[in-house]
Amino acid sequence: MYVTIEGIDTAGKSTQIEALRKLFGDAVFTKEPGGTDVGQTIRSMVLNGEMSSKHAEMFMFLADRAEHTQQVIVPNINSLIISDRSCVSGVAYATVQDVCDIDTLVQLNRLATDNHLPQHVFILVLTPQELTYRLSQKENDAIESRGIEYLLSIQDALIASAHALGIQTHVIDASQSIDTITLEIANLIKGAL
- Contacts for 48 with CB less than 8 Å, ≥ 6 apart: 142
Quote the Cα angle for 107-112-117, to 5°.
Answer: 80
Name residue 160's amino acid.
A
Report the range of poorest mean pLDDT among 38-47, 53-62, 76-85, 97-106. 38-47
Q: Which tens digits make up the pLDDT trace of 136-186?
A: 777 765 565 677 888 899 999 999 999 999 999 999 999 999 999 999 999
Between 129 and 146, the more confident residue is 129
Kind and range of the H or E element at 108?
Answer: helix 102-113
DSSP state for residue 1 in the 8-state scheme: -
How many C-beta atoms surround the C-beta of residue 53 within 10 A? 10
pLDDT at 140: 61
List, in order of start, the domains of the chain with CATH numbers: 2-192 (3.40.50.300)
pTM score:
0.90
pLDDT at 133: 86
Question: Could you report the per-residue pLDDT of 26-65, keeping only the tens digit for each?
Answer: 999 999 988 899 888 988 887 777 888 889 889 989 999 9
Q: What was the pLDDT predicted at 135?
A: 76
